[in-house]
Amino acid sequence: MFLQNDVLEYAGPPRRAIRILWIDRAQALAYTYALRQESALPQAQPLQALVNDVQAHRARLLLVDPYAAPRVTHQVPASYLALQAKALDAVQALHAGLPALYRQRERAAMVAAYAASHGIARSSVMRYLRRYWERGQTPQALLPDYGNSGAPGRTRAATAGVKRGRPRKDAQAGTNADAEIRAIFRAAAARYAVTHDGFSRRAAYRQMLEEFFRGREAGAVPSFGQFSYWLERDGASSEQAIAAVHDTA
């Protein structure tokens, strides 16, 4: 089963990769985005075609996303946070209209309307969208690259007006990560850690969906971004997860 934001890599030449931006509820249609292509745009594909590519070894599903924006470990300058917030406002507003945003004519109209109402060039809005799709569909994807500036090792503080965590891809997606959900996250990490030699958050997330959320609608399923974020916040590393299982055994 594929998930939104999964990356498939195709063997070359030339080697190429695509990100799955969105999957319909019927699990029939997907919109994908070609990575490392400057003028790429979302493309509709039957989901079964992607499954066939993986099963025939024409492509492989990457459990670690090498195209995602790097994790922020420095204090981010206020000017960069302001640029991120501006871009995030545009991206979230436009993603409220999925899947229309992925279709050429509707996207052109939506981008033009947003640009006109906010005094932003259409090319800038498209640059925000492409950066978001390219770099993992997270708020962090919209931060300007700033090299090694900042204060290494310091945790970034919450910023007014900038929502932490992955923005919703549609009005129905996502669920609140309350104490019960966070407990499931920790349990899922522990269950995966003791049955596998290496720890992959993406694979642990997939296993959690199968074991704890099978049959639920998309709006009642936590996102991978929430899962990853709260594992980090709660210190649920693979080593700690294994220890937790032994402590409760």
Instruction: Give the per-residue pLDDT at 149.
Output: 41
The residues that bridge with 61 in the sheet, in sequence order, are 8
| Alpha carbon distance 48, 31 (integer Å) | 12
How far from 227 is each of 41, 164, 220, CA to CA, in Å? Answer: 28, 13, 14
Say how far apart CA 186 and CA 223 lie, in whole Å: 15
**Cα separation, 139 vs 166, whole angstroms:** 6
* Number of alpha helices (DSSP H) and beta strands (DSSP E) in the chain: 8, 5
Domain boundaries of the chain, sorted by first residue: 7-62, 68-170, 179-248
Residue 47 pLDDT greater than 70, yes or no: yes
Helix runs in 96-223, H state only: 104-118, 122-134, 179-193, 201-212
Average pLDDT for 126-143:
93
Q: Which residue has the higher pLDDT, 113 or 172?
A: 113
**Residue 174, pLDDT score:** 53
**With 80 as the cut, is the pLDDT of residue 90 above it?**
yes
* DSSP structure string for 59-79: EEEESS-TTSPPPP-SPPPHH
d(CA 97, CA 8): 25
The pTM is what?
A: 0.64
- By the 8 A CB rule, do 75 and 156 touch? yes
Bridge partners of 46?
Answer: 29
- pLDDT of amino acid 33: 97
186 token code pair = 């920790």
DSSP 10: E
